[in-house]
């Protein structure tokens, strides 16, 4: 902590109220360690694989220091609670809102238009400290998983902290009030803190197992970590650390736990859950024993560099991540590589420390020591105005991005109505019959920001079965006599715009059976939990039964193997996944259905290319966003099994040439961006591929797809 003070957001900064005799250099050193491993993890994620646990260290520190303060001066009325909130505002908001404002301006100046809308929304929610819920909802969105990193993504932990600061004085104050009636205030506080700890921990264990992506961000799964620090404060109010045995050894064990977690915990492990016990209990142990022995880690944690880094840790945390995200955009604009090299990373570390020191001295400390003391209405007034200003900045970015998208969509729709248009797939050989010969290269006609939202109607219409796949929606398009089932995951869904065009032309009715992530396979896939694994298999069986019930004439299916098979590596999955499709293909054959398998499209994600963002950054050098069929290859067990079984009523269509004309996979064809992320076709490009798809379906020789003129 700072010179004689209590904590701020994520335990990263001090707050006011503890006397100088309570100043603990070991806690300040823990802050330095925590922010250091977070910084190193963000720069070298493959080396410091568990560096994200630094945030958990901050949570425990915050919980301890805030609870210690509240135990000494518990809030007795609303005035005390408001005063507590006022102190939090003065410590936290000036620096955090400044970073949000600067990040918003820098995003507008340096980042591509394709990220403006998302970043603006996140700045808005971060300004009001609810961005963790925004990221939680995005984390379970399969299509949002490939979005570019947000320059304010690290504000999720600050949001958790602010929500804790809002609730905690009420919890402690009410516990003190209830306990005072029985002259058991300390006991009541201990019970309240322990109850929050237990309930939140149990929920964290459950929810991390059920929804690990969302569990990482939401407040209820994290409250126990802050409450753990509170429990340490309660224990230390009753037990003197000097009476604890083996204090130096216990302190080393705690520190070793944090260091070990930094290297042994990996991002692909479910977290927080039980794994978070490692950094939480380790940090709690170091704080609890409070050893200042020369044989303890205190010697290291109290070194002057550690104290300096601890003093500025809040600002380091605030400033380092926007630099990591935005510097590559700036680097590209001035003609350098977007990839951060060793020198770039070293400069980011130096810049983070320098800017953090300036921010600490001239923003944090100035407001902490001088501004609005004793005038809480001014504190809250300042907070309201500053939050609204930053919120307006976020809204402005969203509005500008929306206007760009709307205008571009109108232009695209106007050109789509032209029968001689060379837009998108119409520019390919055997494109639109009415098209004149199209030029080899055409200017970009689709804005990258528009491409990111150019998705098939299946998304807006809610046509997806989502984990745990107990919901089984069906959507119907067209009113024709021929009944066609569109089956698969999102890589079947992205063909819907083309099929809608054909449904109108060819007298079809299309019914969708689409699942997010889940592959329609009889083999278990490595999904988030056992309920979801079983739900996916049950959904696959249901789809097979539903499509073979006699209602349909044909099945069009396509899939992306987006997760490995359960307890298998990707290499093992590629060898074995085809077996999961044999039974379904056989059942369709027995039901005398015409089956067309559309082989999965080339995969830009294989080279980590988010196509709209890449196009936005390289409009004059689109080759930077291109690939080859080899480099953009991805397995397709469904298509491989359909080809190998050679059933007379099952045919495979290969769309590779529609994305990789002349042997190069293009991010833009006919002026249209081909993918809206790293793998899914834009609705506009899919729509313009209707002639090619129609031709291929007729060439299968299957009766359902013969066109009667």
Q: Which residues pair with 209 in a beta bridge?
A: none
For 441-476, the pLDDT digits (tens) are 788 899 999 999 899 999 999 999 988 899 999 999
pLDDT category at 13 given cuts 50, 70, 90 is very low
pLDDT category at 373 given cuts 50, 70, 90 is low
Mean pLDDT of 478-504: 94
Q: Report which DSSP code applies to 579.
A: G
Q: Mean pLDDT lowest for which of 198-207, 310-319, 366-375?
A: 366-375
Cα dihedral sign, 374-377-382-384: positive
Angle between helices 313-333 and 304-311 in degrees, nearest 10: 70
Cα dihedral sign, 14-20-25-30: negative
User: Tell me, what's the pLDDT at 356?
Assistant: 96
Report the alpha-carbon angle 177-178-181, nearest 5.
Answer: 90
Complete domains list, the chain, with CATH: 5-398 (no CATH), 456-600+636-654 (3.40.50)
pLDDT greater than 70 at residue 707: no
Kindly state the greatest CA–CA separation across the chain: 93
For 526-549, the pLDDT digits (tens) are 987 888 999 999 999 999 999 999
* Residue given tokens 């074995």 in the structure block: 576
User: Tell me, what's the pLDDT at 605?
Assistant: 86
pLDDT category at 430 given cuts 50, 70, 90 is low
Q: Mean pLDDT lowest for which of 11-20, 636-645, 666-675?
A: 11-20
Instruction: With beta carbons less than 8 A apart as the criterion, state whether 625 and 673 touch.
Output: no
pLDDT greater than 50 at residue 142: no
Main-chain dihedrals φ then ψ at residue 627, nearest 5 degrees: -155, -165
- How much of the chain exceeds pLDDT 70, in percent? 93
User: Tell me, what's the pLDDT at 428?
Assistant: 87
pLDDT greater than 90 at residue 2: no
pLDDT greater than 60 at residue 21: no
User: Tell me, what's the pLDDT at 617?
Assistant: 86
Cα–Cα distances in Å, from 254 out to 58, 243, 275, 436?
Answer: 14, 18, 15, 73
Higher-scoring residue by pLDDT: 153, 186:
153
pLDDT greater than 80 at residue 439: no
Mean pLDDT of 240-259: 86
pLDDT greater than 50 at residue 433: no
pLDDT greater than 80 at residue 144: no
Task: Name the region of 592 (left: φ>0; alpha: ψ -120 to 50; beta: rest).
Answer: left
pLDDT category at 606 given cuts 50, 70, 90 is confident
- How much of the chain exceeds pLDDT 90, in percent? 64
Cα–Cα distances in Å, from 537 out to 63, 488, 573?
Answer: 43, 13, 16
Distance from the Cα of residue 418 to its chain's centroid: 39
Average pLDDT, the chain: 88
Q: Mean pLDDT lowest for which of 409-423, 481-495, 619-633?
A: 409-423
User: Tell me, what's the pLDDT at 146?
Assistant: 56
Q: CA 202 to CA 439: how far, in whole Å?
A: 63
Residue 529: Cβ-neighbour burial (10 angstroms; 0-12, 13-18, 19+): middle
Please write down the HEC assignment for all residues of 112-145. Answer: CHHHHHHHHHHHHHHHCCCHHHHHHHHHCCHHHC
Count of alpha carbons within 13 angstroms of residue 120, beta-carbon side: 19
Here the tokens at position 575 are: 């060898």
Cα–Cα distances in Å, from 638 out to 487, 569, 579, 588, 704?
Answer: 12, 18, 9, 13, 21
* Of 54, 64, 50, residue with least CA distance to 197: 64
Q: Residue 15: CB partners within 8 Å, gap ≥ 6?
A: 1, 5, 6, 7, 8, 65, 66, 69, 87, 88, 91
Q: CA 72 to CA 74: how far, in whole Å?
A: 6
Instruction: With beta carbons less than 8 A apart as the criterion, state whether 158 and 122 touch.
Output: no
Mean pLDDT of 491-520: 94
Here the tokens at position 242 are: 């000097």
Mean pLDDT of 591-595: 94
Here the tokens at position 234 are: 């309660």
pLDDT greater than 80 at residue 371: no
User: Tell me, what's the pLDDT at 584?
Assistant: 95
pLDDT greater than 90 at residue 183: no
Mean pLDDT of 297-310: 93
Instruction: With beta carbons less than 8 A apart as the criterion, state whether 522 and 580 touch.
Output: yes
Mean pLDDT of 150-162: 94
Cα dihedral sign, 291-280-37-327: negative
Q: CA 579 to CA 561: how far, in whole Å?
A: 13
pLDDT greater than 90 at residue 149: no
For 93-121, the pLDDT digits (tens) are 999 999 999 999 999 999 988 889 999 99
- Measured from the Cβ of residue 599, the count of other Cβ atoms closer than 10 Å reads 18
User: Tell me, what's the pLDDT at 696?
Assistant: 93
For 75-89, the pLDDT digits (tens) are 888 888 988 898 888
User: Tell me, what's the pLDDT at 12?
Assistant: 38
Q: Residue 705: CB partners within 8 Å, gap ≥ 6?
A: 506, 554, 594, 596, 697, 698
Mean pLDDT of 483-511: 95
């Amino acid at each position: 902590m700072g010179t004689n003070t209590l904590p701020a957001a994520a335990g990263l900064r001090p707050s006011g109220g503890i006397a100088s005799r309570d100043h603990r250099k070991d806690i300040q050193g823990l802050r330095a360690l925590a922010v250091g491993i977070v910084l190193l993890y963000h720069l070298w994620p493959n080396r410091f694989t568990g560096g994200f646990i630094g945030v958990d260290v901050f949570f425990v520190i915050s919980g301890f220091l805030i609870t210690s303060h509240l135990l000494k001066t518990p809030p007795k009325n609303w005035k005390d609670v408001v005063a507590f909130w006022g102190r939090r505002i003065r410590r936290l908001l000036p620096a955090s809102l400044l970073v949000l404002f600067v990040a918003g301006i820098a995003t507008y100046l340096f980042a591509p238009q394709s990220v403006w809308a998302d970043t603006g929304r996140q700045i808005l929610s971060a300004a009001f400290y609810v961005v963790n819920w925004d990221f939680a909802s995005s984390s379970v969105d399969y299509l949002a998983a490939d979005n570019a990193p947000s320059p304010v993504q690290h504000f999720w932990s600050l949001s958790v902290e602010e929500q804790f600061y809002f609730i905690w004085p009420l919890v402690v104050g009410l516990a003190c009030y209830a306990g005072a009636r029985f002259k058991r205030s300390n006991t009541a506080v201990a019970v309240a803190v322990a109850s929050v700890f237990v309930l939140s921990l149990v929920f964290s264990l459950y929810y991390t197992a059920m929804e690990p992506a969302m569990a990482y961000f939401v407040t209820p799964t994290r409250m126990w970590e802050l409450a753990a620090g509170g429990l340490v404060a309660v224990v230390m109010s009753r037990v003197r650390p000097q009476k604890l045995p083996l204090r130096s050894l216990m302190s080393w064990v705690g520190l070793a736990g944090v260091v070990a977690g930094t290297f042994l915990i990996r991002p692909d492990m479910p977290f927080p859950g039980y794994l978070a016990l490692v950094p939480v209990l380790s940090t709690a142990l170091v704080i609890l024993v409070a050893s200042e022995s020369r044989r303890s880690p205190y010697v290291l944690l109290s070194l002057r560099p550690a104290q300096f880094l601890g003093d500025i840790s809040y600002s380091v945390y605030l400033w380092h991540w926007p630099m990591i995200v935005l510097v590559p955009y700036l680097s590209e604009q001035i003609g350098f590589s977007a990839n951060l090299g060793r020198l770039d990373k070293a400069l980011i570390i130096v810049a983070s420390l320098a800017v953090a020191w300036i921010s600490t001295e001239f923003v944090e400390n100035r407001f902490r020591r001088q501004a609005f003391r004793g005038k809480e209405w001014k504190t809250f007034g300042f907070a309201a105005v500053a939050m609204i200003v930053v919120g307006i900045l976020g809204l402005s970015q969203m509005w500008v991005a929306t206007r760009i998208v709307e205008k571009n969509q109108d232009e695209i729709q106007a050109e789509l109505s032209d029968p001689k248009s060379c837009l998108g797939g119409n520019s390919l050989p055997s494109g639109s019959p009415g098209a004149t010969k199209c030029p080899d290269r055409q200017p970009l006609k689709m804005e990258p920001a528009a491409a990111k939202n150019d998705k098939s109607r299946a998304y807006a219409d809610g046509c997806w079965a989502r984990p745990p796949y107990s919901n089984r929606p069906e959507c119907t398009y067209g009113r024709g006599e021929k009944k066609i089932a569109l089956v698969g995951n999102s890589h079947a869904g992205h063909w819907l715009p083309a099929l809608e065009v054909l449904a109108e032309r060819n007298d079809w009715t299309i019914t969708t059976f689409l699942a997010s992530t889940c592959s329609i396979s009889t083999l278990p896939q490595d999904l988030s939990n056992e309920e979801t694994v079983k739900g996916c298999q049950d959904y696959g069986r249901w789809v097979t039964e539903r499509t073979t019930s006699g209602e349909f004439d044909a099945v069009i299916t396509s899939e992306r193997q987006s997760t490995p098979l359960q307890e298998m590596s990707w290499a093992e999955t590629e060898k074995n996944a085809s077996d999961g499709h044999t039974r379904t293909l056989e059942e369709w054959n027995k039901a005398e259905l015409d089956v067309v398998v559309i082989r999965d499209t080339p995969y830009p994600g294989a080279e980590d290319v988010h196509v709209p963002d890449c196009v936005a950054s390289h409009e004059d050098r689109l080759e930077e966003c291109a690939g080859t069929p080899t480099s953009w290859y991805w397995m397709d067990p469904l298509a491989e099994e359909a080809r190998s079984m050679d059933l007379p009523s099952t045919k495979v269509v290969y769309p590779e040439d529609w994305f990789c004309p002349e042997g190069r996979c293009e991010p833009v064809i006919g002026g249209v961006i081909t993918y809206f992320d790293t793998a899914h076709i834009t609705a506009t490009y899919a729509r313009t591929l209707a002639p090619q798809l129609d031709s291929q379906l007729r060439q299968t020789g299957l009766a359902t797809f013969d066109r009667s003129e």
